[in-house]
Chains A and B, each alone.
Chain A
């Protein structure tokens, strides 16, 4: 019954639905795109390099004459996978650390949260660059780096939720029924932290895509000739004056995906956050 109600509310929320639509479109593109893309995204065609949009190449061609539309379509799959993997990498450890820190307090809380504070003290992109520099530039390492950078955010959100939940009477009631600490955390506190995590993870998808694109732009992420949007943007930068479309289309693709996740995340927050009801 609960689920039906939540879904009905989701349908009423125009922001969330707009976001969902954008995400759905791009996910669809990622799934079926590669089989409908007009050209091979990796085949160079030096004679037709840096051509503007035309019937043959709706998004034009890049410096090596590759079809930008095909590259953007292939890139959607990469970006969505980056988002999913990077968010999972930050979500799982972040949630566990937050649960432990919040529930046990003091001796467990202090070391965990102070370490998180240290991580937060670095600018996100700098830390990500640092991690990729250690691991070496590649697509997988980009996801790991972006994932690690956002662990403290999840840990903080979960911890603060746990702190307020811990004082709730029903937690005391479970203890009064003889529930062990592990049981209280896993069965009673954790399910109550899911709504804020979902909201943050959705918003986090957008941030992760953006961060990965930034790393790609700096040459630390996906290596050529992978059609990753950030890397494409970086490539197009050199020709911005003579062929602006090379940078514009991947930029718009990033914009659309991030906007989709942000709108959907905001909408979800309106639905799931009980304090806003």
Chain B
């Protein structure tokens, strides 16, 4: 086992709304080793993004708060770090690429200036040198004729290009960890593949770890070494990518795999299988297992007690009473 760069222990991030407490992240444990890519999968609203924002300490306060847990990064507990310390870490040691490349750049500034800003903030170089480095970064992320593109405003670029710019910004200070929050969701399929390739290639070059958040299992299989499947604020299954994909255990994970359209289902009556029901309202979660209402295997114990993560084989854990 390699040294872990980031270790999340029992992270709980709640949102205190007028209607009640929303337990967006409710006890997540996650490890990311040096140079590793970890995928975090799950449907919308399951807490993937909130986990990422908790690591960055960008939870919108005072509504949301990390109420419990530790996020150890290189031995520093990010939950307890001061805002000053966080500002030094953000963008420098840990950086983030957001889902929507169309809105994640400031419309009134040239893209070059925005990349240079990140470099200037953390590397203490002159504006001129930061600008040169920005051009270099654009070249690195495969933008043609970066010397002129650096002067573009965001609206002059396509979605794929902007996402490249965002990646350039995120990697400009050679961070140890890059969080990519659904980096390809807003892009069309051909561009998606290019961006994934790019992330993979640059990761090797910069030698950083990646936390890849997505709802696309195919993407995870392609790039990640470990996968966590999230459901309603919990990680319900975690393992190395090969054993989890070969041998998914949790009914939710199984459901996710079954709802991927497959080529060989050619007969008309073979309809796509779906997971019945919808994501539970995080305001009124049931007792016991959070997945019970949608699970075809649910039995009495599931309604009474919450299952814990249990190791079912080497490097593969599942949170389900079927295996307890």
Q: Is the CB of A168 within 8 A of B103?
A: yes
**Cβ contact of B104, chosen from A1, A106, A173, A191, cutoff 8 A:** A173
Question: Using Cβ atoms and an 8 Å threshold, which residues of chain A touch B89?
Answer: 178
**Cβ contact of A175, chosen from B90, B106, B107, cutoff 8 A:** B90
- The chain A residue sitting closest to B84, CB to CB, is A180
Q: Is the CB of A172 within 8 A of B98?
A: yes
Q: Is the CB of B122 within 8 A of A178?
A: yes
A191 to B106, CA, bound (A): 10
A12 to B270, CA, bound (A): 60
Cβ of B150 within 8 Å of any chain A Cβ, yes or no, is: no
Shortest CB–CB separation between residue B218 and chain A, in angstroms? 25
Q: A106-B62, A170-B103, A173-B166 are in contact. Are A179 and B108 (CB under 8 A)?
A: no
Question: Using Cβ atoms and an 8 Å threshold, which residues of chain B touch A192?
Answer: 106-108
Question: Using Cβ atoms and an 8 Å threshold, which residues of chain B touch A191?
Answer: 106, 108-109
Question: Using Cβ atoms and an 8 Å threshold, which residues of chain B touch A174?
Answer: 106, 117
Question: Using Cβ atoms and an 8 Å threshold, which residues of chain B touch A106?
Answer: 62
Cβ of A188 within 8 Å of any chain B Cβ, yes or no, is: yes
Cβ of A169 within 8 Å of any chain B Cβ, yes or no, is: yes
A169 to B95, CA, bound (A): 14
**Cβ contact of A176, chosen from B88, B95, B106, B108, cutoff 8 A:** B95
Of listed A172, A187, A192, residue having the most chain B CB within 10 A: A172
Cβ of B118 within 8 Å of any chain A Cβ, yes or no, is: yes
Q: Is the CB of A169 within 8 A of B100?
A: yes
Question: Using Cβ atoms and an 8 Å threshold, which residues of chain B touch A177?
Answer: 90-91, 95, 117-118, 121, 169
Q: Is the CB of A176 within 8 A of B105?
A: no
A187 to B117, CA, bound (A): 10
Q: Is the CB of B58 within 8 A of A172?
A: yes
Question: Using Cβ atoms and an 8 Å threshold, which residues of chain A touch B108?
Answer: 191-192
Cβ of B259 within 8 Å of any chain A Cβ, yes or no, is: no
Q: Is the CB of B100 within 8 A of A176?
A: no
- Per-residue CB proximity of B159-201 to A under 8 Å, as 1/0? 0000000100100000000000000000000000000000000
Question: Using Cβ atoms and an 8 Å threshold, which residues of chain A touch B56?
Answer: 175-176
Shortest CB–CB separation between residue A272 and chain B, in angstroms? 12
Cβ of B317 within 8 Å of any chain A Cβ, yes or no, is: no
Interface residues of B in 97-116 (CB under 8 A from A): 98-100, 103-109
Residue contacts A-B, CB under 8 angstroms, 11 given: A1-B153, A169-B98, A169-B99, A172-B98, A175-B58, A176-B56, A177-B121, A178-B86, A178-B122, A191-B106, A192-B108
Please report A residues at the B interface, Cβ cutoff 8 Å. 1-2, 106, 168-170, 172-180, 187-188, 191-192
Q: Which 6 A-B pairs have the closest CB atoms?
A: A177-B91, A178-B91, A178-B90, A169-B104, A176-B96, A169-B103
Please report B residues at the A interface, Cβ cutoff 8 Å. 56, 58, 62, 86-92, 95-96, 98-100, 103-109, 117-118, 121-122, 153, 166, 169
- Beyond contacts A174-B106, A191-B106: 16 other A-B pairs, Cβ-Cβ < 8 A, are A1-B153, A2-B153, A169-B99, A170-B103, A170-B104, A170-B105, A172-B98, A173-B98, A173-B104, A173-B105, A176-B90, A176-B95, A176-B96, A177-B118, A178-B88, A180-B87
